[in-house]
Structure 1
Amino acid sequence: MSSNTSLDIWLAGAFAAFTVDLLVYPLDTLKTRLQSQDYAKLYRNVDGSTKRSLFRGLYQGVGSIILITIPSSGAFFTTYEALKYTLNEAVPPNSSLYLPQPAIHAAASGGAELVSCAILTPAEVLKQNAQMLNSSGRGSTSLQVLKTFRSQPSRLFRGYTALAARNLPFTALQFPVFESLKNYFMARRKAKKGGEPVDGILERATITAYSAGIAGSGAAWITTPIDVVKTRIMLAAGSGEDASTKPDAKSKPTSLLMHGIQGSGRKSGFTVAREVLKAEGVRGLFRGALLRGCWTALGSGLYLGCYEGGRFYLESTRKGNNEGDHLMQRDWSNVKVGVGGSRSQDQVKKSAWQDE
């Protein structure tokens, strides 16, 4: 059984989020731009070739997402491990209730996502709108976008439902497959080592990484239509327009913001999906699927690989420190204290932590 504390899990999750965000953020920016309603207008030339502006400012908005994903990822893994442990305790032989392991992993990851999305949504809205800014401007793109929400800060949470609707099925698909693959590869590796446990930090992280990469890429491909809808809704939140409000013909949108759905800030996800399907067909709902599948394979592999490596490192360090405590290692069962025939001269009983 793991000897990790909640702080260990939180730190490992935060470290994993920070590492992955820095490495794969440019791919996420490209995915957002590909899924934008204005992709063809902003990033394609008349002859169909791609404009260079598609590849500019690929780290726009990274500051806000890093600041928030650190606590949100820590909250995710802390909740996930706690729910997984609680649900495992509720199945035989501890209870008459039977739950298959895939159902336990899906339920635990789903509950963890609801907590994580509540923390992540405002940063996700800022990030996706910052990714669509004209990078010729100076200063922080996140702060420039944040100014557009000053009058209605509640719009920062407008994409929570869409974000949760994407992440819940994604994690429900990814984590059962990931846990199964990890256990399978761990068992194979253990058999090759003659039954010895896989206790190398790099080895465990590597097995976790490619298990997560395989599971994540498949889940990402399947949930791409929901991701397209989520992107459009979050970009619309930055326009400051509502579906019930008619835009002023004389007003001009800011030269920095590139709106995802003009005047559709309060449209439901189903309405946005129907509009995308009607205007662009099934291909429009799967726009960016290949890129998303590739960067999710890379991102999930790094994310969960770093998490597993960090968690196991902290666990190994904690065990090493405990084993290094000579006072705790010493057998006190035969030690006698006091003088004469006092009661304290009896043998000291073994503590609960000592082996029988």
Structure 2
Amino acid sequence: MDRASFISSLLAGAAAGTSTDLVFFPIDTLKTRLQAAGGFFANGGYHGVYRGLGSAVVASAPSASLFFVSYDSMKTYSRPVFSKLISSSDQMAETATHMFSSSAGEIAACMVRVPAEVIKQRTQTHKSDSSWQTFKKLLKNDNGEGIRRNLYRGWSTTIMREIPFTCIQFPLYEYLKKRWAQVGNREQVAPWQGSFCGCLAGGVAAATTTPLDVLKTRLMLSKTSVPVLHLARTIYAKEGWQVFFSGVGPRTIWISAGGAIFLGVYETIHSILS
């Protein structure tokens, strides 16, 4: 990746992440409260839906920039490798490239996203704390598990959720763009078409990975570390399998619409700067 492409990905990703979080934050809050132990109204209901916005805004630009810089870089470097490994099918090589590159992007983004998610979700389900107050409580390390473990609680589950999510979303997103461009006899789609492809791909990925999102939410809200499988068994025994699809509606709507804005803004800014 050359310097111009790097800067384009950096700025386009920052704009995409910030705009999406600002627009759809209330829906994210409702989704978090639906998934939290105790239920929707016990965790704040419809009140204070912008609580925790500060942590989301602070992390949006750097996490999205990290994602797209890693994603675009890895696409450039890994495409020749997968072409050699999967020489029998160009489409399979492209799909493998997008799955690998988006997974690398998500891991990079989670370095910033996970601490911000922990702070955001705890603030969303608390009736008085601000993002800053939640952050200071985590730094106090009252549970004795250490600041790193407190800030990165749910890291493994977030990765477990994000990699399947992105392995569905980005290959589908890139495939839809490619097919649409072929239908119109163009090299690439217009930004608004990329936005529509992002909407559809995001909705499919969101609905499919909701159970992993529920586990991630419960882990981040837990006061102490809990093994993922133990948590899943406990939730199933106490609340039944239906709880693993709590918030599937708001999550799918939020990520579908968010995907349209996120990838639409990215495509627009990237086309301007390229």
TM-score by length of 2: 0.90
Residue 125 of structure 1 is aligned with which of 118, 130, 149? 118
In 2, distance between residues paired with 1:85 and 1:142?
38
Superposed CA deviations along residues 235-293 of structure 1, whole A, max 9, x for unmatched, are 11xx3xxxxxxxxxxxxxxxxxxxxxxxxx21111111111111222210111112211
Per the alignment, do residues 80 and 38 of structure 1 end up closer, same or farther by CA in structure 2, a change over 3 Å counting?
same
Q: Which residue of 1 aligns with 2:72?
A: 81
**2:158 paired with 1:163:** yes
Q: CA deviation at 1:96?
A: 6.3
Q: Which residue of 2 aligns with 1:112?
A: 105
Per the alignment, do residues 40 and 80 of structure 1 end up closer, same or farther by CA in structure 2, a change over 3 Å counting?
closer
Give the % identical residues: 32
Q: Give the partner amino acid of 1:222.
A: T
SS in structure 2 of the partner of residue 37 of structure 1: coil
SS in structure 2 of the partner of residue 54 of structure 1: coil
Q: Which residue of 2 aligns with 1:68?
A: 59
Superposed CA deviations along residues 62-99 of structure 1, whole A, max 9, x for unmatched, are 1111111211110110000111111113255xx46636
Residue 190 of structure 2 is aligned with which of 204, 212, 217? 204
Q: Give the partner amino acid of 1:146.
A: F
Structure 2's unaligned 5+ residue stretches are 142-146
**2:272 paired with 1:313:** yes
In 2, distance between residues paired with 1:206 and 1:29?
27
**2:221 paired with 1:235:** yes
In 2, distance between residues paired with 1:173 and 1:183?
16
Q: CA deviation at 1:3?
A: 9.1
Q: Give the partner amino acid of 1:148.
A: K
RMSD (Å) for aligned C-alpha atoms = 2.0
| Highest RCO, 1 vs 2 (Cα 8 Å, sep ≥ 6) | 2
> Would you tell me which structure has more helix in proportion to its own residues?
2
In 1, distance between residues paired with 2:139 and 2:176?
46
Superposed CA deviations along residues 142-186 of structure 1, whole A, max 9, x for unmatched, are 011112112222211122111111111100111111110111112
Residue 188 of structure 1 is aligned with which of 183, 186, 205? 183
Per the alignment, do residues 285 and 97 of structure 1 end up closer, same or farther by CA in structure 2, a change over 3 Å counting?
closer
In 2, distance between residues paired with 1:284 and 1:2?
47
Residue 220 of structure 1 is aligned with which of 202, 206, 211? 206
Residue 145 of structure 1 is aligned with which of 134, 143, 155? 134
In 1, distance between residues paired with 2:259 and 2:53?
18
**2:233 paired with 1:274:** yes
Alignment of 1:329-340 (within 5 A): none
Aligned length: 264
Superposed CA deviations along residues 210-257 of structure 1, whole A, max 9, x for unmatched, are 111111111111110100000001011xx3xxxxxxxxxxxxxxxxxx
Structure 1's unaligned 5+ residue stretches are 44-52, 191-195, 240-264, 316-356
Rg larger in structure: 1
**2:47 paired with 1:56:** yes
In 2, distance between residues paired with 1:281 and 1:181?
36
Superposed CA deviations along residues 293-334 of structure 1, whole A, max 9, x for unmatched, are 11110011110110011100111xxxxxxxxxxxxxxxxxxx
In 2, distance between residues paired with 1:121 and 1:105?
23
Per the alignment, do residues 287 and 91 of structure 1 end up closer, same or farther by CA in structure 2, a change over 3 Å counting?
closer
Q: Which residue of 2 aligns with 1:48?
A: none
Q: Give the partner amino acid of 1:209.
A: S
SS in structure 2 of the partner of residue 60 of structure 1: coil
In 2, distance between residues paired with 1:123 and 1:16?
17
SS in structure 2 of the partner of residue 177 of structure 1: helix
Q: CA deviation at 1:23?
A: 0.3
In 2, distance between residues paired with 1:293 and 1:40?
17
In 2, distance between residues paired with 1:84 and 1:166?
21
In 1, distance between residues paired with 2:40 and 2:33?
10
TM-score by length of 1: 0.70
SS in structure 1 of the partner of residue 139 of structure 2: coil
Superposed CA deviations along residues 71-129 of structure 1, whole A, max 9, x for unmatched, are 1110110000111111113255xx46636211110011011111111121111100000
CA contact 2:86–2:93 (8 Å) conserved in 1: no
Per the alignment, do residues 97 and 284 of structure 1 end up closer, same or farther by CA in structure 2, a change over 3 Å counting?
closer
Q: Give the partner amino acid of 1:59.
A: Y
In 1, distance between residues paired with 2:85 and 2:225?
46
